[in-house]
Amino acid sequence: MSPSHPQHILDLFQDVCTRYAQSTALTQHLSRNKQFKISFAQLNFRANALADYLLQRGLQPQAKVGLYMRRCPEQVIAMLAILKAGAIFYNLNPKLSAAQVNYSLKICASSWLLVDNTALLRLQQANTLMPTKLLRFSDEILTPIHASLIDKLSQHLQVDNLSCQDLNTTDPVKSVLSSQSSSASMAATVLFTSGSTGDPKAVQIGHTDLLKRVSKEITAYALTSEDRLLNVLPFSFDVGLNQLFSTLCSGAELILLNSWLAVDICHVIKQHQITGVSGVPSLWAQLMANPDSTWQKQAQESLQNLRYLTISGGDMPIPQLQQLRQLVPQTQIYKTYGQTEAFRLTMLLPAEFDKHMESVGRVIPGVELLIVNSQNQPVPTGEQGEVVMSGEGMMQAYLNDTRHDLSLRRHPLRNGRMAIYTGDIGRLDEQAYLYLLGRKDKMLKIQGNRVYPQEVVHIMLTHEAIQEAVVVGGENKIGEKILCAAVRLRPTMRLTLIELKAFLSQHLPSYMQPTQLQFVEDFPRTPSGKIQLSTIEDSCCEC
């Protein structure tokens, strides 16, 4: 029986480890014929042992520890160990450059960084690093190149090598701080926003809100110990991290796959009999990008037993949603809307998907949602305004960064409560379904008309040849606001600029038609896979 009043996710995890000790917790898919498995009992023991190791080396309560490595069981062990030791963990995407890592270390004022061999290769680009303690997981083979890098880094950092296989502790019950030793109001983790529109923001999440996030996901997706979930999203991304802890706290099995290739995803789903996948729009779009009928038939066969999938981290145009439904007609599809700062605000449930797929759903339990105007007053149903949320799952604060404090403000109606101003423009219909129109800071005035670039994108994506599109604002040579668009075509599909302009003129008023159009092979992306809008704004609109 689950704990009746858990204070931390560690309470739920410990209960699962007791009930499902010998069940597989994690499977790392290495190749078609090679995988690594670890049980809940092994995972818990090694997390306790690593927590003991860190405490013996001076890790202090609420100290921040960075994890800079590929998704693997060692990374999961490290996260659990840091929580057990009463400290705070934060994951850094392994695709980050050394300069980006240094930026994150400075924001977190961190003196600890746990790395693997891949991270070492990236860190050689750094002139200096913030941390004084670098801990390398040494289960991987140490090549001469890696040995040379360790010698170089050791000149100005304390570098220790550690093998999870060799971790041991004489009395893990006494040597490791229990979850009760840290207050539920204390911080548990730091998440960095994607940085798709600028510098990433460091969002601090408390134990209480992390527990709420995990509990809500377990309930929403009806997770049980019979589920096998596929993880392809980085743990530095809130959706990937929440999937991890929801799996660990429900007794399900999580299969780790370090590939976004459609053929690999379909193979692993079929081989491991996956029941659930959390994905982002770009993941599902590339899965459907190949129009070849033979491939589509193979993909549909691989996915036919998938119980559910999620669309998070952004929305998809209606044609792609309809195509996804055709690909997985028996699968439950969840659309979710949220932010790193606020977890999930709304969810479109499977029973509502076919009828309301233009919406991002209705508010989830424990969350209050308002639409406010520029005077900070709630607007009538059907009118647009900024989306504001309050309730469970909210961040504690932005870390060491006062530039963004306007996002976390006093509730417009309830004294003594805080609310998050999302910066998203939306409206609620009569049935309380939320529809998003675009970002508040991306709204443009074109020829005196209010235009949200995302509205133009949705129209462009209705063309069968277009896989992805981005629309941003710019200025022409005389200072007038214009729209600039970049388009990525689907494989094997052809489209000329003349044909594209003709299509847009048929479907959009003149003021919503981009002045500049260009085709691209791919878009610059953040480490979590989101399109890097700030880079496109700099390059696409040099008019």
For 494, phi then psi, to 5°, come to: -125, 145
The answer to whether 366 touches 344, Cβ cutoff 8 Å, is: no
Q: Which of 179, 206, 233 corresponds to the end of one domain?
A: 206
CA dihedral 369, 528, 350, 385 (to 10 degrees): 30
**Cα 332 to the center of its chain, rounded Å:** 20
The DSSP code for 356 is H
Q: Is residue 225 one of the residues assigned to a domain?
A: no
92 and 156 in a single domain? The answer is yes
CATH number at residue 324: 3.40.50.12780
Pairing state of beta strands 332-339 and 308-311? parallel
Pairing state of beta strands 187-192 and 202-206? antiparallel
288 and 381 in a single domain? The answer is yes
292 and 170 in a single domain? The answer is no
188 and 68 in a single domain? The answer is yes
302 and 433 in a single domain? The answer is yes
Q: Which of 381, 408, 438 corresponds to the end of one domain?
A: 438
Q: Which of 393, 417, 438 corresponds to the end of one domain?
A: 438
For 344, phi then psi, to 5°, come to: -100, 130
278 and 143 in a single domain? The answer is no
173 and 102 in a single domain? The answer is yes
Q: Is residue 250 one of the residues assigned to a domain?
A: no
**Considering its fold, how many domains does the chain have in total?**
3
Residue carrying the six token digits 């927590």: 51
Strand order in the sheet with 187-192: 158-162, 133-137, 112-115, 64-68, 88-92, 187-192, 202-206, 397-398
pTM reported for the whole predicted model: 0.85
Instruction: Note down pLDDT in tens along the chain; length 543 residues.
Output: 467 778 889 999 999 999 999 999 999 999 878 899 999 999 999 999 999 999 988 999 999 999 999 999 999 999 999 999 999 999 998 888 888 888 888 899 888 999 988 787 777 766 666 666 888 887 666 667 767 777 777 666 777 888 766 676 555 544 454 444 556 678 999 999 876 556 788 999 999 989 999 999 999 999 999 999 999 999 999 999 999 999 999 999 999 999 988 899 999 999 999 999 999 988 898 888 877 777 788 888 999 999 999 999 888 888 889 999 999 999 999 999 998 888 889 999 999 999 999 999 999 999 999 999 989 899 999 999 999 998 888 888 888 765 555 677 778 788 778 888 888 999 999 999 999 988 887 778 787 777 888 889 989 999 999 999 999 988 887 777 889 999 999 888 899 999 999 999 999 988 899 999 999 998 888 776 778 887 777 765 554
Angle of CA points 470, 476, 479, to nearest 5° = 120
384 and 461 in a single domain? The answer is no
Q: Is residue 195 one of the residues assigned to a domain?
A: yes
Cα–Cα distance, 294 to 305 (Å, whole number):
19
- Residue 92's CB: how many other CB atoms inside 10 A? 25
CATH number at residue 193: 3.40.50.980
307 and 427 in a single domain? The answer is yes
Which domain covers residue 455, as residue numbers? Answer: 449-540
The dihedral sign for the CA sequence 498, 500, 504, 510: negative
The DSSP code for 495 is -
CATH number at residue 461: 3.30.300.30
CA dihedral 436, 441, 445, 449 (to 10 degrees): 20
- Residue 366's CB: how many other CB atoms inside 10 A? 12
